[in-house]
């Protein structure tokens, strides 16, 4: 039996809420990860004067068994609670996230038209999973607790990321359910959005960016590709460029507040 305990357990991965200026940013980590995934970017934003929050999603940072008992509504409820905390403190709130976190940000934006904008990093609106892979996952979920992610080269992300080394099967089906629910809500998203994609991503399909751009009603859509980055684009070698793009995007929009 494979060791499924957390990778890099020494890293900080719990919920955080850092008080700053009157504009808030909610950053959600992705599937199987922890808030270690968003902390590097969050620190940059906080240093830039923003109030920044990053919730640890249910089922994450604990055990694979607990994550397999989690439902997607628990993830959206956690984002909702964090958004309300920020909205009570700030005059404007941006929603953001990496991978599944980007999907959660889109879903929350569809429920909160007053949200100021979206920061989407490799939003997992389409992955490289084939229909046969998804069917196999559905059939084996009752007796296969997890599966391995596709292999890839070692990068800076390996040292900076904290989470499960495997993908819990039943929880992965909940991610698919979240994605389906979000797809149905895309037309209700009208906020300005920033999308940052990684050219070397082996998890999120390149078409994910177009799915978002075509599906939302946003008049402002800014898309950037990081040519040297892998899936976790907010932890990889082009993080300084991603942070600069994010700060510029926020600075341009916050003039309205």
6 part of a folded domain: no
214 part of a folded domain: yes
pLDDT band at 251 (very low <50, low <70, confident <90, very high): very high
At 257 the pLDDT is 65
Question: How high does pLDDT run on average in the chain?
Answer: 96
pLDDT band at 170 (very low <50, low <70, confident <90, very high): very high
Tokens of 147: 């599966």
Tokens of 214: 């075509």
Alpha-carbon dihedral angle through residues 190, 254, 115, 53, given to the nearest 10 degrees: 130
Split into its structural domains, the chain has a count of: 1
CATH assignment of the domain containing 122: 3.40.50.1820
108 part of a folded domain: yes
At 151 the pLDDT is 82
Query: Do 20 and 181 form a contact (C-beta atoms < 8 A)?
Result: no
The set of catalytic residues is 99, 201, 231
Q: How many helices (H) and strands (E) does the chain have?
A: 9, 9
8 part of a folded domain: no
**SS3 at position 96:** strand
Q: pLDDT of 76-101, one tens digit each?
A: 999 999 999 999 999 999 999 999 99
pTM for this one? 0.98
List phi, psi (to 5°) of 248. Answer: -65, -40
84 part of a folded domain: yes
4 part of a folded domain: no
10 part of a folded domain: no
Tell me the residue range of the domain where 21 lies.
Answer: 16-254
Q: pLDDT of 1-21, one tens digit each?
A: 689 999 999 999 999 999 999
Exposure class string for 203-231: b at 16+ Cβ within 10 A, else e: bbbeebbebbeebbebeeebebebeebbb
126 part of a folded domain: yes
Q: For residue 63, is pLDDT > 90? A: yes
């Amino acid at each position: 039996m494979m060791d499924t305990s957390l990778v890099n357990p020494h890293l900080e991965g719990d919920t955080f809420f850092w008080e700053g200026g009157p504009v808030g940013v909610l950053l959600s980590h992705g599937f199987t990860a922890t808030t270690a995934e968003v902390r590097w970017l969050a620190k940059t934003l906080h240093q830039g004067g923003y109030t920044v929050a990053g919730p640890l999603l249910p089922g994450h940072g604990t055990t694979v068994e607990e994550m397999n008992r989690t439902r997607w509504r628990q993830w959206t409820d956690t984002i909702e609670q964090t958004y309300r905390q920020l909205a009570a403190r700030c005059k404007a709130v941006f929603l953001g996230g990496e991978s599944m976190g980007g999907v959660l940000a889109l879903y929350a934006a569809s429920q909160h038209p007053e949200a100021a904008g979206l920061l989407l990093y490799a939003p997992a609106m389409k992955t490289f999973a084939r229909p046969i892979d998804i069917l196999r996952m559905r059939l084996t979920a009752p007796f296969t607790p997890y599966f391995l992610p596709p292999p890839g080269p070692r990068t800076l992300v390996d040292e900076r990321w904290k989470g499960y080394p495997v993908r819990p099967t039943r929880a992965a089906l909940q991610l698919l359910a979240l994605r389906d629910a979000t797809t149905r809500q895309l037309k209700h998203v009208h906020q300005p959005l920033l999308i940052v994609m990684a050219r070397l991503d082996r998890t999120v399909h390149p078409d994910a960016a177009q799915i978002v751009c075509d599906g939302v009603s946003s008049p402002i859509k800014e898309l950037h590709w990081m040519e040297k980055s892998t899936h976790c684009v907010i932890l990889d070698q082009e993080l300084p460029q991603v942070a600069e793009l994010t700060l510029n995007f926020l600075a341009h929009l916050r003039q309205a507040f």
